[in-house]
Amino acid sequence: MNFKVKEICYCALMVCLLALLSQIKIDLPGYVPITLQTLAVYLLSLVLTPQEAFFTCFVYLLMGAIGLPVFAGFHGGIASLVGYTGGYLFAFPIMAMLISYLSRKYSSYIACFIGSLVCYIIGTAWFMLLTKMALGPSLMMCVIPFIPGDFVKILISVMIYNKIKDRISLTSAF
């Protein structure tokens, strides 16, 4: 990975945005809260190249792993990564790279939707592994309540991206 200073700055700004939006959290009954983390992942994925998007989310996970309070509710540490929602966190780099790649070939909306599906699959599989819960109840707890909010987050992130893409000098992918 040979990033230029400009690209490193974009990645750093996006890590900050991801950490900031992660703190906006609404607890639901159960294990998985509503956060704006995915809004940040959608947006950074649209702005950055696939490699940069993956790197940005990976750095975010490393920051949390070493104990910095960047995860939802100002949490950090390995416990957050191996807990019930850890699968969703681990899905972020893959989700970001996939959205970034697909958004250059297809609609940004479609790319974000497919990225969400990947996040749901990885996160829910992890949740099921830890809780030994069946698929149906896991979907009711970890996916179904979040679909409407994720549609709204996708709409917002694509609208923001469409407003800023002509105003900023984006990285080499453009």
Domain total in the chain: 1
What's 103's domain CATH number? Answer: 1.10.1760.20
pLDDT value of residue 103 = 96
pTM of the model: 0.91
- CB 65, CB 50: distance < 8 Å: no
Q: What are phi and psi of 163, to 5 degrees?
A: -75, -35
154 is a domain residue: yes
In degrees, to the nearest 5, what angle opens at C-alpha 79 toward C-alphas 118 and 94?
Answer: 20
pLDDT value of residue 21 = 96
155 is a domain residue: yes
Q: What is the mean pLDDT of each run of 10 residues along the chain (174 residues)?
A: 84 96 86 88 97 98 97 94 95 99 97 98 98 96 94 98 81 44
pLDDT value of residue 169 = 62
Tell me the CA distances in angstroms from 139 to 1, 19, 97, one per residue in order: 37, 26, 24
Task: Name the residue range of residue 47's domain.
Answer: 7-164
pLDDT value of residue 171 = 46
